[in-house]
Amino acid sequence: MSNIVVISTSLRAKSNSDILTERLISGALDAGHNVEHISLKGKELKFCIGCLVRQKTQKCVLNDDAVLIAEKVRNADTLVFATPIYYYEMSGQMKTLLDRMNPLYPSDYRFRKVYMLMTAAEDEDFVPEKAVNGLQGWIDCFEKAELGGYLFCGGIDAPGEAAEKYEALEKAYQFGKEIV
């Protein structure tokens, strides 16, 4: 049984990635994991200013929601990021959060596996590549961690449309069950 932190990065109401994230969480819970779900909706995330103070003091000079989220990430066994694909890349708020968590690498972080769930209007195989590469770049800073896998659900555009995409809902559920 793992302690999983799932971070939803979409800010859209009736987000398709949030709908699929709920199914992923159901699968993870049914597999016996503990799951904490964090949504970036309503959160204050400042841009990293590159001061590197946190690497020395373990305390960020910026006071916002990223500080608490980073602490939850540090103590998780497994991480899951859910993001819509914008311009063939992860959401800007996901990238901002990753930048703010990068100073965790000198800490005694627990997470070993990182997963990603992505949605997009486009459905071609190449669509998630840049987002996966972006997350892999962040993971590469954490030598004890690795990309556990990702799920891309394309061809989903209108708000709430994922609720009627039964194949994608089932894939998200199974993806959640297989997380370790």
Q: What is the pTM of this model?
A: 0.96
Q: Where are the beta strands (DSSP E) in the chain?
A: 3-8, 34-39, 78-84, 113-120, 146-154
Output DSSP code: residue 76.
-
pLDDT-based confidence at 54, cuts 50/70/90? Answer: confident
pLDDT score recorded for residue 52: 83
47-76 as b/e, with b when 16 or more CB fall inside 10 Å? ebeeeeebeeeeebebeebbbebbeebbeb
For range 141-168, the mean pLDDT: 96
Q: What is the pLDDT of residues 79-95, one digit of tens each?
A: 999 999 999 999 999 99
Q: Would the pLDDT of 103 be above 90?
A: no
Q: For the chain, how many structural domains are there in total?
A: 1
Give the whole-angstrom CA distance, residue 15 versus residue 11: 7
Alpha-carbon distances, residue 114 vs 9, 10, 77 (angstroms): 15, 18, 9
pLDDT-based confidence at 105, cuts 50/70/90? Answer: confident
Q: Cα dihedral angle (13, 132, 27, 3), rounded to 10 degrees? A: -100
For range 86-110, the mean pLDDT: 92
Q: What is the pLDDT of residues 10-53, one digit of tens each?
A: 999 889 999 999 999 999 999 999 999 999 999 999 999 988 88
User: What CATH number is given to the structural domain containing 28?
Assistant: 3.40.50.360
What is the extent of the structural domain holding 133? 3-178
